[in-house]
Homo-oligomer: A and B are copies of this chain.
Amino acid sequence: MPKIIDGIEEKIYNAAYELFSQKGYEFVNMKMVANKTGIAVGTLYNYHKNKKSLYLSVLENSWQETLNKLDEIMDNEKKSKKLVRLITVLYTEISARKGIAQELIKSSELKEIKKKVINKLKNKLLIRIEEALDCHKDYRNAEVDQETKKRLVKLIFIEIIAMNNEFHDDKQKNIEFIMNSVNSMLS
B23 and A108 contacting across the interface, CB-CB below 8 Å: yes
Chain B residues, Cβ within 8 Å of A150: 167
Question: How many residues belonging to A are interface residues under a CB distance threshold of 8 Å?
Answer: 36
Chain B residues, Cβ within 8 Å of A177: 147-148, 151, 155
C-alpha spacing A13/B151, complex, angstroms: 35
B173 and A162 contacting across the interface, CB-CB below 8 Å: no
B162 and A155 contacting across the interface, CB-CB below 8 Å: yes
Determine how close the nearest CB of chain B comes to the CB of A150; give it in whole angstroms. 7
Chain B residues, Cβ within 8 Å of A185: 180-181, 184
A99 and B109 contacting across the interface, CB-CB below 8 Å: yes
Chief secondary structure at chain A's binding surface? helix
Interface string of A148-164 (1 = CB under 8 A from B): 10110011001101110
Chain B residues, Cβ within 8 Å of A167: 150-151
- A187 at interface, CB cutoff 8 A: yes
Determine how close the nearest CB of chain B comes to the CB of A98; give it in whole angstroms. 7
Closest to A27 in B: B109
- A80 at interface, CB cutoff 8 A: no
Q: Chain A interface (Cβ within 8 Å of chain B)?
A: 22-24, 26-27, 98-99, 102, 105-109, 147-148, 150-151, 154-155, 158-159, 161-163, 165-167, 170, 173-174, 177, 180-181, 184-185, 187
